[in-house]
Amino acid sequence: MLHYAVVFFVIALLAAVFGFGGIAASAAGIAQLLFYGFLILAVISLVASWVRKKG
């Protein structure tokens, strides 16, 4: 998931450089959504790992 976030971020940067504002904003929004999804899943995974080690 983090890989896709980086890919969309690069697409957003390239689109912004070439002047495609709408595409850049959409790609940046998708990248942001994927990154936050990655963070949430990483935290859930860490908590689950800690719970399993204690039990």
In tens, the pLDDT along 8-49 reads 999 999 999 999 999 999 999 999 999 999 999 999 999 999
* Per-residue pLDDT, 2: 87
pLDDT tops 90 at residue 7: yes
* Per-residue pLDDT, 29: 94
C-alpha distances (whole Å) from 11 to each of 4, 5, 26, 31 are: 10, 10, 10, 9
* Per-residue pLDDT, 46: 96
* Per-residue pLDDT, 54: 86
> From CA 55, how far away is CA 11, in angstroms rounded?
44
